[in-house]
Structure 1
């Protein structure tokens, strides 16, 4: 299951092409992947901190490749903040250095999210967030509606430099729900992501000091 998850995550990331609103995942799956082939030959992770969108994509692919291959160490813990917010943090590291943090959580009963923070040399360079707010839909008994928001934030020198967003709705009783991988991203103003580094810092400090209570 972990392999399928990471491969799926790689596909959605590759949708962030130089044409901000163009999704390329379908074409990538039908061709050989020279980057993956090079990674298989090279073996180790890059030590360089990425500073451009292309460099960020390259390192992202490296990290996901090594997660998929089981080459990274992992540690995780679960927390519960007064029953209002609860979740699980997983840290992926190489030689003691964190390269990715996954934060899965839910707030109350109608919102859940998964955030992935990618780190190099203690510097945050990419964040992928997927949040789902669900509600009951009128007209059909027990029918639910998921309002899904995906965000992709590229960072250089700890500041967002390129931000993408994708929104769609999944209905429990529909037969024609959208496929996220075929939907276009929209480039958005990065001002809405100005505090994303602070969110990462909160998670990073619990790497060696986990808590069962609120994340502060």
Structure 2
């Protein structure tokens, strides 16, 4: 009789352990943090290389072109400089900032900041100076835009590669395609651009217009 009770006790213990194991396995299969062998793994989506910058830039730029990002705006007017800032958001996180301003002296500037995890990783800047072309007449004036484009790759808050392209666009047409003009690598200097960016972020929740950034 003693032997029978001992055997029954062992069967009950083994059965309980099997049920506990099944319960734990079921809980693991239902937990999204554990399922598919992703337990306690944090996805690393930070930008570490030039290739990472190019991929993330292409993704955000595509959404800008297709107007898939939410946006807010504010304007500023300071010392004959009239500007407008547009902030673009992806999933409520800042993804890009466009700063455009024009001066009365035939000058305008447009800067696009691309952002990931609250860090600027790429800047595209173009500056335009326009003048009347000598080939025009008082009755039919012609203009010429001299354009300078800058492309700046940034890792860990530091510029790692910078390129520049210069070309002109005439109102009379017959212009060279800017895409066929090569970029030239130049010395990096982002101090002023980043100073402006910090001022923009500081004022990003402003509504309407402000005086100076």
Name the TM-score, length of structure 1 as normaliser: 0.71
Runs of 4+ in structure 1 displaced over 6 angstroms? none
Structure 2 equivalent of residue 8 of structure 1: none
Structure 2 equivalent of residue 197 of structure 1: 194
Structure 1 equivalent of residue 160 of structure 2: 161
Please tell me whether the aligned partners of residues 73 and 208 of structure 2 are also in contact (alpha carbons under 8 angstroms): no
1:156 Cα offset (Å): 0.7
Structure 2 equivalent of residue 185 of structure 1: 183
1:64 Cα offset (Å): 1.9
Structure 2 equivalent of residue 17 of structure 1: none
1:193 Cα offset (Å): 2.9
Query: Which of 99, 119, 122 is residue 118 of structure 2 equivalent to?
Result: 122
User: What are the ranges of 5 or more consecutive residues in structure 1 without an aligned counterpart?
Assistant: 1-45
User: What are the ranges of 5 or more consecutive residues in structure 2 without an aligned counterpart?
Assistant: 1-42
Once the two structures are superposed, what CA deviation does each residue of 1:77-119 show, in whole Å capped at 9, x if it has no partner? 222225x111211111123211100112101240112210001
Please tell me whether the aligned partners of residues 47 and 120 of structure 1 are also in contact (alpha carbons under 8 angstroms): no
Is 1:102 paired with 2:98?
yes
Tell me the secondary structure at the aligned position of residue 136 of structure 1.
strand
Once the two structures are superposed, what CA deviation does each residue of 1:53-85 show, in whole Å capped at 9, x if it has no partner? 110000011112333444321111222225x11
Query: Which of 59, 69, 75 is residue 56 of structure 2 equivalent to?
Result: 59
CA distance in 1, matches of 2:196, 2:45: 23
Structure 2 equivalent of residue 93 of structure 1: 89
Higher relative contact order (CA 8 A, sep 6+): 1
Tell me the secondary structure at the aligned position of residue 62 of structure 1.
helix
Structure 2 equivalent of residue 74 of structure 1: 71
Query: Which of 202, 205, 208 is residue 208 of structure 1 equivalent to?
Result: 205
1:213 Cα offset (Å): 2.7
Tell me the secondary structure at the aligned position of residue 52 of structure 2.
helix
CA distance in 2, matches of 1:49, 1:168: 35
1:210 Cα offset (Å): 4.1
Tell me the secondary structure at the aligned position of residue 61 of structure 1.
helix
* Bigger Rg, which one: 2
Structure 1 equivalent of residue 35 of structure 2: none
Tell me the secondary structure at the aligned position of residue 75 of structure 1.
strand
CA distance in 2, matches of 1:153, 1:90: 20
Query: Which of 122, 132, 147 is residue 136 of structure 1 equivalent to?
Result: 132
Structure 1 equivalent of residue 45 of structure 2: 48
